[in-house]
A and B are shown apart, each in its own frame.
Chain A
Amino acid sequence: MLSKKTYDRLGETVYQTTLTNGLKVLMVPKAGFHKTFAIMTTDYGAMDNEFVPRGQTASVRFPDGIAHFLEHKLFEKKDHDAFDLFGKYGASANAFTGFTQTSYLFATTSHLKENLEILLDFVQDPYFTAATVNKEKGIIGQEIQMYDDDPGWQSYFGMIGHLYPKEPLHIDIAGTVDSIDKITADDLYAAYNTFYHPSNMNLIIVGQLDPEETLAWITANQDAKTFAPNESITRIPSAQAQPADIVPTTTRHLTLTRPKVNIGLRGFDEVPAGRDGLTYSVAVSLMFDLLFNDTGDNYLRLYDANVIDDSFGYDFQVQRGAHFAQLAGDTDQPEQFASELTAILKDAPAQLAAAKLQFDLVKREAIGRIVGAINSVEGIANQYDGPLFDGATIFDELAILEQLTFDELLTAAKAFLDQSQATVYTILP
């Protein structure tokens, strides 16, 4: 029932199983650790705002921000707040909503069984009323406004909005003050019933734990509940922007001391399915290291010319239905920042060929980064992308990275860059 995969050199073991109700459970015991971290995730996020509600036949377009709203409201029950239940045991609980997932988590150093039951019970027992939904609108309204004052947030989401002008990604994950005002308790139930079925969720537990005992607790909890039969979910794909729809440059003004530039690069190529997708993701990330990290010539040249400084950073991410890179930083020379970095990207094939000798170096660095993440229970759990990469864990990612060749990197880099489209998003004082 419980499958076991060991990673000998790392001294780590992953236990996993899928319960009869469809819930996928994955456990990683960590010897010597005091803490246990558990995170329960549904494959549902801000992107999924049009779908066929479970039990119905027609699709419905829901107000923007509904996934995030649901996340907030799931904690509140008729006579208590689930948050307080964790508090009784001193555990810290939290939740977050992304474009393609919503997660509920806790960390504890005692009473794992009780905390797990609280997590499973509050996630699996929704309670939404008109009164509680309306009260939440004030709190989330404040949250949205807080991000209005955060130039870093504005820069990142401004960039994403221009990469995905027709997709739901162009709207804040939390929605807008107007859109959340339209959300009703019935909407929340429709979304909940569709996406919070155990078969659309996974539960990862890492840290101080006994796998057999922990699974027995979870199984007993789940067996005592009744779930609707598992049905496939019909998401209605949003409109898709074409490369020509992406505005090359945008400038806006905010009060801040230094200009911020964020260059987004959207991939229009197809990410390979399953584990190959992870290899692709690792390879493209390393490509950015080769082109832009501080071991390279580009970085030093631009740093010495004051085009970039210590605030410069970049990343590449793959999510369900979207993959993109960002290169961002504060700079007093926003135009040079954009033109220099864009020129490097255009010249990438030649640049990469010239940087071949640095491949082992950036690979070593990436290996070190992953080994460092394995030190933390959160690092292990958060690296799990569920169905996206066919259940690969951080340990699988390390193995993929160690085996990656320079040619594989070039192939992935070409696939991504050849069909990518850039947007430059600048915020000026």
Chain B
Amino acid sequence: MKQLWLTAKLDIVESLRARWFQIYTLVFGGIVALLFLFGLTESRVLGFIGLSRLLVTYIQLTMAILPIFVLITTVRSVAGDREAGVFEYLLSLPVSLSAWFWGKIVGRYIVVFTPVFLAMAGAVGWATIQGIEVPWEMFGYYTALLAVMAMCFLGIGMLISAIARTTDMAQGAAFMVWLFLLLFLDLILLGVMIQGKVAPEFAVTLALANPLQVFRTAALALFDPQLIVLGPSAYVILDLFGVAGYKIFALVYPATLGLLSATVGYFIFRRGDLP
């Protein structure tokens, strides 16, 4: 356990000094600042006003940015470290491979999740000072969603890093994974599938296997519990899970997917050449 925390701490320190982290923090901090600056808390859309309106917009933007950011930065730094000889040196020290791999994940997770959370927490703090009502339930669930989203894409990123031998390959693969998930995010595509006599249950299952779609639907469900904007797909989803069930599924499934990806990545990592 000591080795794991040492590795995690090392990864945090390395990341804090990396340019990607500075940009990453600036992006999420900047989003919240801009949303306040543009007076989003004052505007009303679909009955949403105040901090709820800001949080809904923030999570939509985060869902668009965070996955690709986490994927690319993870594979870039892990594969890049391997290419640059960092692994050759640090893995010549007496650290177990499990402590190294999982320590890197823990460190990276803290680094990836903290700015996203702090930006949202900062918004809540500012709202409290300004006397704007804070929707705590929404804040809690969105925090959990973001935590799970970071875990999911970090796990996938570590799996890609374990498989790809070069930074270029890793980056290309990460981009392809994101593009693939994005493709199946398209509800029009699912509509076409249903029109093409594919069973609706199959189309929806396909959509729900996509973590991006799971997050998107979960974020929608919080202000549209009947998922009216999803159209007929909503019937299948709500029949299958129910409103509360889906909220739980949206947390459990991506977390499992992330952990599973990381575990497979770990076994590939320990089985092959390290540097």
The answer to whether A binds B is no
